[in-house]
Structure 1
């Protein structure tokens, strides 16, 4: 069976994925200069490995959309079930809890926030799931000093294998315990990132004590102290970040997020990006590009279901796919009620002010009627009516069904994502505009 012309967009999507899936390791050296190049749309990382992409392309060209259905279903299932576990470790009071909250878009008063304080409250790892994407979890590990264990036994007790990477958090001078922990994590083959927290407090104290200071020089001194300590522990080219969890637009906070994203691959990169808080336009843009790569997979499944010669079956499945996808997009874009309230708490703006700039159509319950009422409703009804009629005609109905279902689902979800993205941008602008 040859793929229909109406599925040309699907083939183009495969080719685009192939062009963007190569590793970006050649850019790693830029980390030395504390810079990361911005990703253009064409550079957005693939959700598939090269082997998966070649198999998809080959199956589609030889057998059409039906031949790739199982492969796409497997990838969608993988995306729904993959977990990302991030471990934060360091001494008590170093700022782990505050950083965990900040990376999840929370403040300490929000429901589910990590408790902030200087007293070690647990001797076991404590997990804090992302409020909208529970498969993303940040783990607060008790400081190594609080358990009085050697680094090797400490990581064993903390079940290090479950974590995708470690963030070592330190809030003052570089310690010997930091070096031992970094060395052990490296020995076990895990990525780690060294975060020097509370930099805003350090600079404020220096200014109170010394008056005028050279901030750049002081920051370089702090960074070099951490780098040299890690190098003495046998860590070449250590990744050190100076941050304030309360001033995310300052120092190295945005760089930390970019590097974490950069070092992850395929599906885990995808869910990490979708879990980023909506604190700036760049995060909204990244989410939009990631979700675009999800749309063509859902449209492909819709196209495959459209080829099933059962009257009305395709239409029902298309609507189900679209409803589920739009609800998911809305959560990822931070436009559900709970997300808007958290953003209001974070920005200090009334939630009513954020709600005022959001177009209401996609905010409430997403039902089949909502999808039919949106601006592209007339086109949906036309295609669906034609599809229902052709369902009774053998062969022709199946060929048209695959094409029309793909086109309809792709168009509606693309337009819905565009609308949600514009809403998210307006919300971010209002939330973080100057008072």
Structure 2
């Protein structure tokens, strides 16, 4: 009994963390009083929220510190790509400039002018930049954090917002040290730089500053993974999900995180697909909304970086021919998703016996009850789960082909 209870709690956490405790109680209450039809609007609202929620990331710092390069790297772009932020050592930003994520346009990185310039003195900066609209702030500086950076952090803190100090170009700094010294230990040098930054900020009045050392060329190295984990912990659940899905596919760990987030959508989309506008697939007794099912698969593919534009960006980043990455992408999920493909998948799925025990272990009780309302929901759930598994495996192969290593393979 104890083991089953632990497994159920784990399943609840993994499948429903996009819902608050009150929302889950509301789902259960509505299902008990009105069945699947009554919970459908609640699930539809949550899906709409996920599709429409914005994540606004403010990136600020003085000219030449690497703001534009950071913004481009976070979107998987290089400086010469269409839509990339202009990389320049002169302060060219005269007002907040938005840069939307190329695949998820509801994720927006904002390039803010540097604080303390003639046009934006420190005492007017906050009002002009409309700080309240941003979810968190990245304060970028190189080679050291300045008095203006400290003032900015203090004002952000006063507003109750999160901020993080980023020191870019760390690979350049390390290369300079290597040329000067015969003996060089990278971890020791990184710790020296990190400690210097933290101590300087503490002496300037910032308590417990969070400093991250990154490279604009190799974003996945050094402190980027630590920065990403801190952001995930600090963001509320819905925005955390959006942030993870917007990350460039630099490591196998990122791919696994994306799969975990997308898995949370599977049962919601299956519920809607089994209830709304039931359109049967020709040749199979499967009541579902084909548009929702196909739309879900296309969304999974885009988030996992398997659309053509994403593959081209990753190939360019990795310095590989895009054909080399495309060559490892296999299966029906990566081409045009048609009712005929859904039909063939459904025939294969119909042979799978879906036991009540499997659902009890995989879904929380209220969701299990919803699925018990009709076999079409079970079928759609299996179709979406299978598609997500297939796409995730393709994304893994692409990352391995791009970077040629398994060292970041999650254990």
TM interval, short-chain normalised: 0.7 to 0.9
Contact persistence 1:227–1:238 (CA under 8 A): yes
**Which SS does the other structure have where 1:60 is aligned?**
helix
Q: How does 1:7-26 map to 2 (within 5 A)?
A: 19-20=12-13
Contact persistence 2:220–2:250 (CA under 8 A): no
Tell me, in whole angstroms, the C-alpha distance in 2 between the residues paired with 1:400 and 1:361. Answer: 26
Contact persistence 2:274–2:287 (CA under 8 A): no
TM-score (norm 2): 0.85
What's the counterpart of residue 142 of structure 1?
113
Q: Deviations over 1:133-158 (max 9, x none)?
A: 00001111111133453434212111
Tell me, in whole angstroms, the C-alpha distance in 2 between the residues paired with 1:400 and 1:153. Answer: 56
Q: Please point out which of 357, 370, 377 is paired with 2:347.
A: 377
1:195 aligns with 2:166: yes
Tell me, in whole angstroms, the C-alpha distance in 2 between the residues paired with 1:18 and 1:356. Answer: 35
Contact persistence 1:372–1:380 (CA under 8 A): no
Tell me, in whole angstroms, the C-alpha distance in 2 between the residues paired with 1:287 and 1:382. Answer: 26
In structure 1, the gaps of 5 or more residues are: 1-11, 21-41, 384-398
Instruction: Describe the shift of the 1:152–1:410 C-alpha distance in structure 2 as closer, same or farther (beyond 3 A).
Output: farther
Question: By how many angstroms is 1:100 displaced?
Answer: 0.9
Q: How does 1:246-395 map to 2 (within 5 A)?
A: 246-305=217-276, 317-374=288-345, 376-379=346-349
Tell me, in whole angstroms, the C-alpha distance in 1 between the residues paired with 2:153 and 2:163. Answer: 7
Q: Deviations over 1:92-121 (max 9, x none)?
A: 111111111111111222221111121222
Contact persistence 2:79–2:85 (CA under 8 A): yes
**Which SS does the other structure have where 1:86 is aligned?**
strand
TM-score (norm 1): 0.81
What's the counterpart of residue 393 of structure 1?
none
Q: Deviations over 1:23-56 (max 9, x none)?
A: xxxxxxxxxxxxxxxxxxx5x8811112112222
Question: By how many angstroms is 1:73 displaced?
Answer: 1.1
Q: Deviations over 1:227-257 (max 9, x none)?
A: 2233234432211111112123421011111
Tell me, in whole angstroms, the C-alpha distance in 2 between the residues paired with 1:175 and 1:83. Answer: 31
Contact persistence 1:195–1:241 (CA under 8 A): yes
Contact persistence 2:271–2:371 (CA under 8 A): no
**Which SS does the other structure have where 2:164 is aligned?**
strand
Which moved further from structure 2: 329-338 or 117-126?
A: 117-126
What's the counterpart of residue 398 of structure 2?
427
What's the counterpart of residue 96 of structure 1?
67
Question: By how many angstroms is 1:126 displaced?
Answer: 1.1
1:175 aligns with 2:118: no
What's the counterpart of residue 213 of structure 1?
184
Q: Please point out which of 66, 71, 76 is paired with 2:37.
A: 66
**Which SS does the other structure have where 1:156 is aligned?**
helix
For these two proteins, the number of residue pairs brought into alignment is 380
Instruction: Describe the shift of the 1:215–1:381 C-alpha distance in structure 2 as closer, same or farther (beyond 3 A).
Output: closer
Which moved further from structure 2: 240-249 or 298-307?
A: 298-307
**Which SS does the other structure have where 2:98 is aligned?**
strand
Tell me, in whole angstroms, the C-alpha distance in 1 between the residues paired with 2:317 and 2:286. Answer: 41
Contact persistence 1:94–1:169 (CA under 8 A): yes
Instruction: Describe the shift of the 1:382–1:167 C-alpha distance in structure 2 as closer, same or farther (beyond 3 A).
Output: closer
Tell me, in whole angstroms, the C-alpha distance in 1 between the residues paired with 2:245 and 2:373. Answer: 30
Tell me, in whole angstroms, the C-alpha distance in 1 between the residues paired with 2:11 and 2:404. Answer: 39
Contact persistence 2:58–2:136 (CA under 8 A): yes
Tell me, in whole angstroms, the C-alpha distance in 2 between the residues paired with 1:238 and 1:51. Answer: 35
Which stretches of structure 1, 4 residues or longer, exceed 6 Å deviation after superposition?
none
Tell me, in whole angstroms, the C-alpha distance in 2 between the residues paired with 1:95 and 1:363. Answer: 36
In structure 2, the gaps of 5 or more residues are: 354-369, 406-411
Contact persistence 1:180–1:233 (CA under 8 A): no
Question: By how many angstroms is 1:315 displaced?
Answer: 5.8
Tell me, in whole angstroms, the C-alpha distance in 1 between the residues paired with 2:52 and 2:227. Answer: 25
Q: Please point out which of 104, 129, 134 is paired with 1:158.
A: 129
What's the counterpart of residue 4 of structure 1?
none
RMSD: 2.8
Instruction: Describe the shift of the 1:431–1:165 C-alpha distance in structure 2 as closer, same or farther (beyond 3 A).
Output: same
Question: By how many angstroms is 1:377 displaced?
Answer: 3.0
